Amino acid sequence: MNDRVLTSAIPAAALGNTPHWELGPIVDELRQVRTVWRQARLRNQECGGREFPSRQRLRDVLQLLCAALFPMRLGPADLRQESEDFFVGHTLDTALTGLHEQIRRELAYNARHDAPRKAGVTEQRAYDIVQRFARSLPAIRALLDTDVEAAYHGDPAALSVDEVLLCYPGILAIIHHRLAHTLYALGAPLVARIIAELAHSETGIDIHPGASIGASFFIDHGTGVVIGETAIIGERVRIYQAVTLGAKRFPTDDTGALQKGLPRHPVVEDDVVIYAGATILGRVTIGKGSVIGGNVWLTRGVAAGSTITQADAQPEGGPAASL
């Protein structure tokens, strides 16, 4: 009886009764569609292989970098402190070599489509970016320590800094962001964006790698948080789930194309708290020490020390805000 039940659950294809899908014409038509798309974008040169960075390879690199940054907490379970430096050195060597290959792919792709290819220049630039990134890792670790401390002190449910590092999605997202933001600034925006999206996929927290975030940053709970490319966040800022720091409008040029890179996201000054569900849009400034209540909609800046709630559109000590 058990054999009959198991057999009935197996798809027909696995039992040898394989359907014929007539794939030849479909494959031909898919090739034609790809060709049209590539020719329309002047991408009809043969590259001979995959051009783009790999999400899977970068996921592996990020796991290694996290382990090297926090070896006794995010490293292997059997690691001992007497071998910590050896582990960090070996892990970084593997991670940086893998990162170099992915950045080389990004730069080679850009060179191939935007300018005559210069393999030597691409290789050297990729090496320079990774070397500068490696030298920034101690400062990144020190900055992340402030984020972990901020989460521990900002959440009464947190029993230890170790719990925060091991369990909090906001900390995972900010680790990815600190690394991605550095690579973004160094000239590897596609690799940085992939790193940011890996964190987004795992945590539900979407931080563009271009966003600038100061020390002691704490995202509590975190799901649904969105922080845009040109957002600037000061020190000791705390935000909760479903907060959006977004753009109010998207300017276009004379041809109707979106203008890229313009400052269009909020500036949040030091010591601001933004509660769950708040939406702040446009290049507005939230003054130092302000508190933005849950589900508030803001499209204008507020003065330092303001408190904004749904029930009261008048910020305390400052001009009226648009909610």
Instruction: Note whether 232 and 173 are same-domain residues.
Output: no
Residue 26: predicted pLDDT: 95
Supply the CATH number for residue 161's domain. 1.10.3130.10
CB hemisphere CA count around 29 (13 angstroms): 5
In a domain, 280, yes or no: yes
Residue 120: predicted pLDDT: 58
Question: Strand, helix or coil at 285?
Answer: strand
Instruction: Note whether 164 and 234 are same-domain residues.
Output: no
Instruction: Note whether 229 and 321 are same-domain residues.
Output: yes
Boundary (domain end) residue, out of 176, 204, 232: 204
String of b and e for 53-78 (b: at least 16 CB within 10 Å)? beeeebeebbebbbbbbbbeebbeee
Residue 315: predicted pLDDT: 43
Residue 15: predicted pLDDT: 53
Instruction: Note whether 179 and 128 are same-domain residues.
Output: yes
d(CA 297, CA 66): 36
Judge whether 231 and 202 are in contact, CB under 8 Å.
no
How many domains would you assign to the chain?
2
Distances, alpha carbon 241 to alpha carbons 218, 224, 273, in Å: 11, 6, 12
Boundary (domain end) residue, out of 170, 204, 238: 204
- What is the gyration radius of the CA atoms in the chain, in angstroms? 24
In a domain, 31, yes or no: no
Instruction: Note whether 321 and 244 are same-domain residues.
Output: yes
Judge whether 196 and 188 are in contact, CB under 8 Å.
no
Residue 244: predicted pLDDT: 98
Residue 252: predicted pLDDT: 82
- Of the candidates 171, 55, 37, the one whose C-alpha atom is nearest the C-alpha of residue 102 is 55
Instruction: Note whether 147 and 288 are same-domain residues.
Output: no
In a domain, 67, yes or no: yes
CB hemisphere CA count around 227 (13 angstroms): 32
pTM: 0.85
pLDDT in tens, the chain (323 residues): 454 444 445 555 555 677 888 999 999 999 999 999 888 876 655 555 667 899 999 999 999 999 999 999 999 999 999 999 999 999 999 999 999 999 999 999 888 766 555 555 788 999 999 999 999 999 999 999 999 999 999 999 999 999 999 999 999 999 999 999 999 999 999 999 999 999 999 999 999 999 999 999 999 999 999 999 999 999 999 999 999 999 998 888 888 888 888 999 999 999 999 999 999 999 999 999 999 999 999 999 999 999 999 875 444 444 433 33
Residue 39: predicted pLDDT: 86
d(CA 226, CA 224): 6
Instruction: Note whether 101 and 69 are same-domain residues.
Output: yes
Judge whether 228 and 209 are in contact, CB under 8 Å.
no
In a domain, 210, yes or no: no
In a domain, 213, yes or no: no
Q: 67 is in which domain, residue-wise?
A: 49-204
In a domain, 199, yes or no: yes
Supply the CATH number for residue 246's domain. 2.160.10.10
Distances, alpha carbon 194 to alpha carbons 53, 55, 106, 213, 307, in Å: 9, 7, 11, 19, 36
Residue 9: predicted pLDDT: 55
Residue 318: predicted pLDDT: 43
Instruction: Note whether 234 and 178 are same-domain residues.
Output: no
Instruction: Note whether 189 and 148 are same-domain residues.
Output: yes
In a domain, 5, yes or no: no
Instruction: Note whether 60 and 199 are same-domain residues.
Output: yes
For the chain, counts of helices (H) and of strands (E) = 9, 14
Instruction: Note whether 86 and 187 are same-domain residues.
Output: yes
Boundary (domain end) residue, out of 148, 176, 204: 204
- The helix (run of H) or strand (run of E) holding residue 16 is none
In a domain, 218, yes or no: no
Instruction: Note whether 296 and 231 are same-domain residues.
Output: yes
What six digits make up the tokens of 290? Answer: 């302000």
Residue 110: predicted pLDDT: 86
CB hemisphere CA count around 255 (13 angstroms): 3
The 3-state DSSP composition of the chain as helix, strand, coil percent (nearest 5) reads 50, 10, 40
